[in-house]
């Protein structure tokens, strides 16, 4: 990778799907070793299924919107445009919001406490190791255009 390409990246601590997937795997392993089922089965599975489907749809919509705008989805590649349509009209992070829905949905479908216990540390890592780095990068790269977008669209919801 060239020095220019390396400097034009978001500088996140790790690929976000790996952070989510790794944390979920740790939580599910803990669940299978020390199962604690905190919720009634049917409501948990119903809410889990809704969150799983809704999260997947939101993440896919965000990805499709980014590709249509001609920018890279992967954080190790340069961002070429501020995307402000599709789900980005409502949240600056539809992919992370959707992936969080997937994560919670799986946790509820399995009725597993441990992944839910790990959710707060996971979101803290995403916030400080990914989102804030992305925002510094976008602010430096796009300046006032990004600051205007940030002022009118919330980070999560």
Q: What is the pLDDT of residues 18-67, one digit of tens each?
A: 999 999 999 999 999 999 999 999 999 999 999 999 999 999 999 999 99
**Is residue 110 domain-resident?**
yes
**Is residue 106 domain-resident?**
yes
**Is residue 10 domain-resident?**
no
**Is residue 79 domain-resident?**
yes
- Is the pTM above the cut of 0.85? yes
Residues contacting 156, CB < 8 A, separation 6+: 91, 93, 96, 97
Crossing angle between the packed helical segments 41-68 and 94-110, to the nearest 10 degrees: 160
- Residue 90 has a CB neighbour count (10 Å cut-off) of 13
- Is 48 within 8 Å of 105 (Cβ atoms)? yes
**Is residue 48 domain-resident?**
yes
- Whether 147 shows a pLDDT value over 50: the answer reads yes
Task: Count structural domains, the chain.
Answer: 1
Based on the number of CB atoms within 10 Å of its own CB, is 5 exposed (0-12), middle (13-18) or buried (19 or more)? exposed
By percentage, how much of the chain surpasses pLDDT 70?
A: 96
Residue 37 domain boundaries: 15-152
Q: Hey, is 153 helix, strand or coil?
A: coil
**Is residue 157 domain-resident?**
no
Instruction: Name the band, by pLDDT with cuts 50, 70 and 90, for residue 7.
Output: low
**Is residue 32 domain-resident?**
yes
**Is residue 3 domain-resident?**
no
Across 125-143, average pLDDT: 96
């Amino acid at each position: 990778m060239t020095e220019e390409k390396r400097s034009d990246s978001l500088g996140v601590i790790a690929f976000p799907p790996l952070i989510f997937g790794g944390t979920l795997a740790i939580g599910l392993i803990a669940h299978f070793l020390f199962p604690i089922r905190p919720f009634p089965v049917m409501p948990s599975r119903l809410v889990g299924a809704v969150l799983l489907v809704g999260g997947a749809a939101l993440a896919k919509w965000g990805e499709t919107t980014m590709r249509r705008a001609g920018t890279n989805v992967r954080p190790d590649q340069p961002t070429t445009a501020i995307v402000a349509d599709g789900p980005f009209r409502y949240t600056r992070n539809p992919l992370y919001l959707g992936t969080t829905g997937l994560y919670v949905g799986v946790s509820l479908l399995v009725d597993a406490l441990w992944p839910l216990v790990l959710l707060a540390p996971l979101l803290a890592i995403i916030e400080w190791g990914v989102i804030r780095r992305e925002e510094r990068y976008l602010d430096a790269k796009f300046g006032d255009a990004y600051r205007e977008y940030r002022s009118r669209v919330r980070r999560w919801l």
